[in-house]
Amino acid sequence: MSLDAKIPQGPLAEKWSKHKFNLKLVNPANKRKYDVIVVGTGLAGASAAASLAELGYNVKAFCFQDSPRRAHSIAAQGGINAAKNYQNDGDSVYRLFYDTIKGGDYRAREGNVYRLAEVSVNIIDQCVAQGVPFAREYGGLLDNRSFGGSQVSRTFYARGQTGQQLLLGAYSALNRQIHKGKVKMYTRSEMLDVVTVDGQAKGIITRNLVTGEIDTHTGHAVLLCTGGYGNVFYLSTNAIGSNVTAAWRAHKRGAFFANPCYTQIHPTCIPVTGDHQSKLTLMSESLRNDGRVWAPKTVETAEKLRKKEITAAQVAENDRDYFLERKYPSFGNLVPRDVASRNAKEMVDDGRGVGGSGFAVFLDFADAINRLGQEAVAAKYGNLFDMYYQITDEDPYKQPMRIYPAVHYTMGGLWVDYNLSTNVPGLYALGECNFSDHGANRLGASALMQGLADGYFVIPYTLGDYLASIGPKPVDANHPAFAKTKQDVVDRINSLLALKGTKTVNEYHRDLGHIMWEYCGMARTEEGLTKAKGLIQALRADFWKNALIVGAGDEVNASLERAGRVADFLELGELLVDDALMRKESCGGHFRLESQTEEGEALRNDDVFAFVGAWQYKGDNQPEELHKETLDFEFVHLTQRSYK
């Protein structure tokens, strides 16, 4: 099968306008004859569902939480980028485009990224019109902060709760359409399969998480807005429920999965304390605006700190290594995430890590507090400081935070073309669930931007083109594909419920996480990855023999829900490793020890690997087939990224 990204021809700045003009339209009276299924109501899903309903389509929206307001987007802290240039500091659509392509280590499509930068400005307007209370300056205009990988201030924020405020904005737009009857909302519902009829997506199968009922829903198109798969690592900054199930089941029905090995490890998270830990907590990147990252210069000092013989404050200025400022003078603490994470790991590997376990470096606010005063620092980051204090019992106003990298975001996801369509007609993927815009590394504050761009400003245009082409004939729910897919779902649930072994699902998940983090985390090698592949296969085989799942199918059953998700992670984990093995280069978040510059930076191999790797499912326990979408760079010149 050929992979056509459908990027419009012509100059960058005209691609999207021209494309919009060329797309077919559905006339207003016909829109209400179409049903659109939106799975997921985070930023991408809620914005898409609301916008499509406003246009007149009938929308059915689904989420597994008890309310759309609780999607994982709610947890985003730091901010959202937009090329508004309100600060007059030289920002432009082109600069945001350029920063994003470069930040992604030249592994994203130019056309997509330019469009993202272009619509970014509309997003801020939209959110403000909804009443999203962004931070403001005394003159009453919007305030900005800086984020990693850029030298301008283009990040809009709402204290440390930007995702919450943006999601509540999208949720309010969604609520308005629910009230009007244009969106039918299904909460506590988990999508477990996509139904395809003659190769086109025509519906989904869901499980009602309260009654256990398995339901069939028909639609002219299915939009997956189901978030990222970071929890394949068990410990991550994602919410406990975040999972790959919807995307993975779609993959098994034919949708290609692109670049699974592009995972983002965020440099500033609260370090792991013990085996009981169920998740990791992010300390927003925005903290690097004012916090300075350092480790002791010598192993001896680090040793004393670890044994608590001295405190951080007692380490003299001379004995501190502000390693990011030292190595990257022009970007300093605001280098992109992949670079910051690898450097923290280097410190730890060097024996200079701090905290009880030695797996941490410092993020220090003493300078900022001296310069700005505690109150000003609290106004910017108060909730983050409180959160840190709650978790660690240490007061970050008095001593530096201890931070360490943790899995945070997944750039890979379902392959989509410029229209956000997967290779299965009628099946779309939006937000973190797709692979589209961030290349091999996402810049901070760009995921919120992408989710809302997809939902508010891209899909409302591109979906119409497809719908117009298939026509408004109602979908036949009696087509045998529906009954067949439903039976597959029931069978799978029954085989999970039949597992009465000795090991809990949580233990399998934790074991998988250990394998992924150890061999497929911040530093990957041929040898380690090969080993991981074998370990995952063995773990998966063991799961299907020895897992213990309690309770029944026709009731609330968290054990069963978890089991289904972990079973999918056990399959995705292997594909992720395969992709990492295939990509014998380093780029962005994918770091192969075999491929680095003399200074230890990621070394790409553009001659061989300037492509999107899209994998096709070939049956249970069969190797997947790789399809390559070549990345053509017409407008930017590929260079070794430098943040020095």
Ligand X SMILES: Cc1cc2nc3c(=O)[nH]c(=O)nc-3n(C[C@H](O)[C@H](O)[C@H](O)COP(=O)(O)OP(=O)(O)OC[C@H]3O[C@@H](n4cnc5c(N)ncnc54)[C@H](O)[C@@H]3O)c2cc1C
Query: Contact between 341 and ligand X (CB under 6 A)?
Result: no
**CB of residue 237 to ligand X, shortest distance in Å:** 4
Which has the closest alpha carbon to 283: 346, 365, 370, 358?
A: 365
DSSP characters for 131-167?
T----B-TTSSBP-B--TT-SS--EE-STT-HHHHHH
Rounded to whole angstroms, the Cα distance separating 266 from 256 reads 26
DSSP state of 458: I
Query: Contact between 403 and other proteins (CB under 8 A)?
Result: no
DSSP state of 272: P
572 within 8 A of 232, measured Cβ to Cβ: yes
> Cα–Cα distances in Å, from 455 out to 72, 119, 146?
16, 11, 25
Query: Contact between 243 and other proteins (CB under 8 A)?
Result: no
Q: Residue 457 binds what, of other proteins, ligand X, none (CB under 5 to 8 Å, by partner type)?
A: other proteins
Query: Contact between 539 and other proteins (CB under 8 A)?
Result: no
Return the residues of window 274-293 that contact ligand X according to CB under 6 A: 282, 284
Query: Contact between 87 and other proteins (CB under 8 A)?
Result: no
> Cα–Cα distances in Å, from 349 out to 326, 343, 420, 518?
18, 10, 41, 14
Query: Contact between 439 and ligand X (CB under 6 A)?
Result: no
Q: Residue 168 binds what, of other proteins, ligand X, none (CB under 5 to 8 Å, by partner type)?
A: other proteins
Stretch that binds ligand X, among 175-183, 221-229, 391-399, 506-514 (CB under 6 A): 221-229
Q: Residue 460 binds what, of ligand X, other proteins, none (CB under 5 to 8 Å, by partner type)?
A: other proteins
Query: Contact between 148 and ligand X (CB under 6 A)?
Result: no
Q: Residue 638 binds what, of ligand X, other proteins, none (CB under 5 to 8 Å, by partner type)?
A: none
Which has the closest alpha carbon to 602: 636, 637, 643?
A: 643
Query: Contact between 250 and ligand X (CB under 6 A)?
Result: no
Return the residues of window 450-489 that contact ligand X according to CB under 6 A: 451
Q: Residue 438 binds what, of other proteins, ligand X, none (CB under 5 to 8 Å, by partner type)?
A: none
Residue among 241 and 528 whose Cβ is closer to ligand X? 241
Query: Contact between 78 and ligand X (CB under 6 A)?
Result: yes
SS3 265: strand
Residue among 243 and 595 whose Cβ is closer to other proteins? 243
**CB of residue 283 to other proteins, shortest distance in Å:** 11
Residue from 18, 24, 136, 644 touching other proteins (CB under 8 A): that is 136
**Degrees, nearest 5: CA angle 42-48-52:** 150
Residue among 63 and 576 whose Cβ is closer to ligand X? 63
Query: Contact between 84 and other proteins (CB under 8 A)?
Result: yes
Return the residues of window 154-193 that contact other proteins according to CB under 8 A: 158-159, 161, 164-165, 168, 171-173, 175-176, 178-182, 185, 187
Q: Residue 537 binds what, of ligand X, other proteins, none (CB under 5 to 8 Å, by partner type)?
A: none
Mention every residue, 6+ apart, whose C-beta is less than 8 A from residue 243: 226, 227, 229, 231, 565, 568, 569
Residue from 17, 273, 314, 469 touching other proteins (CB under 8 A): that is 273
What angle in degrees, to the nearest 10, is found between the helix axes of 558-582 and 505-520? 20
Burial of 78 (0-12, 13-18, 19+ CB in 10 A): buried
Rounded to whole angstroms, the Cα distance separating 330 from 339 reads 14
**CB of residue 277 to other proteins, shortest distance in Å:** 7
**CB of residue 455 to other proteins, shortest distance in Å:** 9
- 377, two tokens: 């620092």
Query: Contact between 509 and other proteins (CB under 8 A)?
Result: no
DSSP characters for 398-457?
TSPEEEEEEEEEE--EE---TTSB-SSTTEEE-GGGB--SSTTSPPTT-HHHHHHIIIII
- 100, two tokens: 């994003």
Return the residues of window 405-464 that contact other proteins according to CB under 8 A: 456-457, 460
Residue nearest to ligand X (CB): 42
Q: Cα dihedral sign for 227, 77, 260, 572?
A: negative
Query: Contact between 63 and ligand X (CB under 6 A)?
Result: yes
Given the rule CB under 6 A, which residues bind ligand X?
Answer: 39-45, 62-65, 71-73, 75-80, 162-163, 190-191, 225-228, 237-238, 242-243, 245-246, 282, 284, 408-409, 431-433, 445-448, 451
